[in-house]
Structure 1
Amino acid sequence: MDANRPVALVGDEPLLDDLLRLAAAAGCDLDRVADAAALRTRWKDAPVVLLDEWGAFECGVLDLPRRTGVYLVCDQPPSQAVWPEAVALGLERVVELPAAEQWLAGTLADLAEGPPSSEGRVVALLGGRGGAGASVFAAAVGQAVLTSGGHGLLVDCDPLGGGLDLTLGTESAEGPRWPELHLTGGRVAASALHSALPGRTAKQGRLTVLSCDRDGRGPEPDAVAAVVEAGRRAGETVVCDLPRQLTEAACAALDRADLAVLVVPAEVRATAAAKRVAHHITERGVKLAAVVRAPGPTGLRGKDIATAVGVPLLTSMRPEPGLAIALDRGHFPENRRGPLAKAAKAVLDALHAD
């Protein structure tokens, strides 16, 4: 048995089934022991001990010493007779199911992930106007995380965008998309996302992709929040592709972003549209910068566009040669020296500068 796994001494089989289900959803391996004698070997080192009333009485017979991290699990209020035994063991909390399921799942997810990382960052990408190329640029930022050897989570929050898997050319990869990923909020472990979702690896890097599908509903706000927070806690770079019309799901990602990036073509009409989008973003208190596709058809420069929109210019991006043909053929550009890759790297540098 792994000393880092929580351990359960639970005689109630339906209750044990519930615990195993919650542990699996949290990506946490739960060790079950048959009796208090078997638990004795794990008593000091297990991070958490889960007992039902029968388990608490069993431990009391062996006179196990007090310790922290002991939880009494039940499906109804515990009897008065168990309190002396539970207190003697160092009981920290009574976990009554199903009311405390979310709390317990979060506790188990914490054990599976280890201490939360302070390195996780979240970036939201939006188009200044329709067809600005924000989805393609979001995919490029995810690709830049991968090629740099980092760990990234690419999250598609635009159900009308056609699917980021199609943008990346990975539409045939197995794994759930948003309609099939049954999350209702709460807490989810990044490890559970990695094992369930499609993705790609390169050298030391890993990019996990959660795409919308060509049909079906888009993500719910609580589900988006759970996914974004899972990536952040795991120390990953979370890249969110958002629609210009800020749905509740889009706002769930935007409000958690360390940086929002507005992709704006160097055009007068695009500038006017981007200014309205920028207003909606900044009024939510999110740090915002612009990536401008320049020069424009009349020679407008990135600095001109950013000034007119009223946001800082992060970088200007020239057209990527052969981009449209490559995407139509299902081949996302992997040229690390191309304009798309350079602009994506500038975004990552700005994201991790603080």
Structure 2
Amino acid sequence: MTGERPLVVAADETVLDEILRVAAVAGCELDRAPDLTAARGHWARAPLVVLDEETARLPPALPRRRGIVLVCKGSPGPSTWEHAFRVGVERVIALPDEETELAGAFADVVETPAEEAGLVLAVIGGRGGAGASVFASALALAADHDPGGALLVDCDPLGGGLDLLLGLEKTPGPRWPEVRLSGRISVSSLAAALPQRRHRGGSLPVLACREGEGPAAESLSAVLSAGRRSGRTVVCDLPRTLTEAAAEAVTVADLVVLVAPMEFRAIVAAKQVLRGLSDLTARVGVVACGRSRNGVSPTRTAALLGPPLLADMPAERGLAMALERAEFPAKPTGPLASAAARVLSVAHREARAASR
């Protein structure tokens, strides 16, 4: 965030309250001035200036500058446009219909777009108990070492909660459905409020489900867009039966990872999951986990399913016992961490190729 805060000059208390509310949702702190004369000290330095109609009607008392927004109640009339032109307003925002535009302006101040867009990665199990949530968590922990960091998002309301998996069930912070968002948001402000899984080199914010309630599609879309804009990798743990929100994640994901055990029944189940995914995206890859009892190789397993093999993940010694003890493994090496690193590398490589 820039060192200076947006400046708000509003005489209408109702409009001021709405501006403050939208700024709070965007995680943006403001400087306030009762009139243009009092605003003089912040006028030139503020990254954004927000005026209401009453202020804009006054004779210009300060030099013209860029980045002035005029907020009005309802649709702007001819006089509103006249005052906006005279003051040098760049944009007129009508509340409540254009609230997302104002939130976006505040979000751009809080979190300027990253030079390189972040990734959206989705993980889904080929069958129940495939280990998709464990792999999604490992993938997010790996991605959190990247410069932009990561965010782990629980999209499976019946999955038991990623906070429980990561030992964060008693850690304070919002969960779905307490997080109700729309439009442009600041993902850094959201991440700072969430429970954090500490690891070597940092801490991973986790947005988990609570009591069988998952994200609304609109809220998840806002989080994914904000994460991508900020350069952060957002990893979504999806339910096998896609909800509206999960379908949104699949549609926008740079890569959907299907975790498939190397068992015949698991392959049959995974094919059913793939049918639902194929209606939404072609960006799917397979992580083959475990060992086949009949000698079928991971490459052959992926060939039976169709999507390319991203990684082969043999069973990890002690993993099941660690999870039973609510101790999510934090090993920097081993099959789980190695497979997550390979998948992340593929996702980065494909994203760079797509941007050329």
Q: TM-score, normalised by structure 2?
A: 0.91
Alpha-carbon distance, 1:327 to partner:
0.8
Check 1:82–1:246 CA distance in 2 against 1; reply closer, same or farther (3 A cut). Answer: closer
Alpha-carbon distance, 1:54 to partner:
2.6
Query: Which of 274, 279, 286 is the aligned partner of 2:282?
Result: 286
The answer to whether structure 1 residue 191 and structure 2 residue 156 are counterparts is no
User: How many Å separate the matches in 1 of 2:92 and 2:117?
Assistant: 34
Greater CA deviation, 115-124 or 101-110?
115-124
Report if aligned partners of 1:294, 1:301 keep a CA contact under 8 Å in 2: no
User: How many Å separate the matches in 1 of 2:78 and 2:304?
Assistant: 70
What's the counterpart of residue 130 of structure 1? Answer: 128
SS at match of 2:97: coil
Report if aligned partners of 1:198, 1:209 keep a CA contact under 8 Å in 2: yes
Report if aligned partners of 2:118, 2:148 keep a CA contact under 8 Å in 1: no
**Matched letter for residue 20 of structure 2:** L
What's the counterpart of residue 333 of structure 1? Answer: 329
User: How many Å separate the matches in 2 of 1:303 and 1:192?
Assistant: 42
What's the counterpart of residue 180 of structure 1? Answer: 178
Check 1:293–1:70 CA distance in 2 against 1; reply closer, same or farther (3 A cut). Answer: same
Q: Where do 1:46-85 residues align within 5 Å?
A: 46-58=46-58, 60-62=59-61, 64-77=62-75, 83-85=81-83
Q: Report the number of matched residues.
A: 349
SS at match of 1:91: coil
Q: Where do 1:228-307 residues align within 5 Å?
A: 228-307=224-303
The answer to whether structure 1 residue 207 and structure 2 residue 204 are counterparts is yes
Instruction: Spell out, residue by residue over 1:225-250, the C-alpha distance to the aligned partner (whole angstroms, 9 max, x if none).
Output: 11111111111111110111122111
What's the counterpart of residue 27 of structure 1? Answer: 27
Report if aligned partners of 1:150, 1:206 keep a CA contact under 8 Å in 2: no
User: How many Å separate the matches in 1 of 2:297 and 2:226?
Assistant: 38
Query: Which of 344, 349, 352 is the aligned partner of 1:348?
Result: 344
User: How many Å separate the matches in 1 of 2:142 and 2:75?
Assistant: 52
What's the counterpart of residue 120 of structure 1? Answer: 118
User: How many Å separate the matches in 2 of 1:89 and 1:3?
Assistant: 25
Check 1:303–1:3 CA distance in 2 against 1; reply closer, same or farther (3 A cut). Answer: closer
Instruction: Spell out, residue by residue over 1:264-323, the C-alpha distance to the aligned partner (whole angstroms, 9 max, x if none).
Output: 111111112212222322332331111001322222220110010011111111101111
What's the counterpart of residue 220 of structure 1? Answer: 216
Instruction: Spell out, residue by residue over 1:129-153, the C-alpha distance to the aligned partner (whole angstroms, 9 max, x if none).
Output: 1111111111111122235676110
**Matched letter for residue 106 of structure 2:** L
User: How many Å separate the matches in 2 of 1:27 and 1:325?
Assistant: 41
Q: CA RMSD in A?
A: 2.0
Report if aligned partners of 1:3, 1:42 keep a CA contact under 8 Å in 2: no
What's the counterpart of residue 167 of structure 1? Answer: 165
User: How many Å separate the matches in 2 of 1:321 and 1:90?
Assistant: 66
What's the counterpart of residue 110 of structure 1? Answer: 108
SS at match of 1:36: coil
Check 1:102–1:146 CA distance in 2 against 1; reply closer, same or farther (3 A cut). Answer: closer
**Matched letter for residue 45 of structure 1:** R
Alpha-carbon distance, 1:340 to partner:
0.6
Percent same amino acid among aligned pairs? 49
Report if aligned partners of 2:217, 2:248 keep a CA contact under 8 Å in 1: yes
User: How many Å separate the matches in 2 of 1:6 and 1:147?
Assistant: 32
Check 1:80–1:266 CA distance in 2 against 1; reply closer, same or farther (3 A cut). Answer: closer
SS at match of 1:353: helix
Alpha-carbon distance, 1:92 to partner:
2.3
SS at match of 1:37: coil
SS at match of 2:336: helix
Structure 2: unaligned runs, 5 residues or longer: 351-356
SS at match of 1:349: helix
**Matched letter for residue 53 of structure 2:** E
Report if aligned partners of 2:10, 2:51 keep a CA contact under 8 Å in 1: yes
Alpha-carbon distance, 1:78 to partner:
5.5
Alpha-carbon distance, 1:202 to partner:
4.0
Structure 1: unaligned runs, 5 residues or longer: none
Report if aligned partners of 1:9, 1:33 keep a CA contact under 8 Å in 2: yes
**Matched letter for residue 96 of structure 1:** A
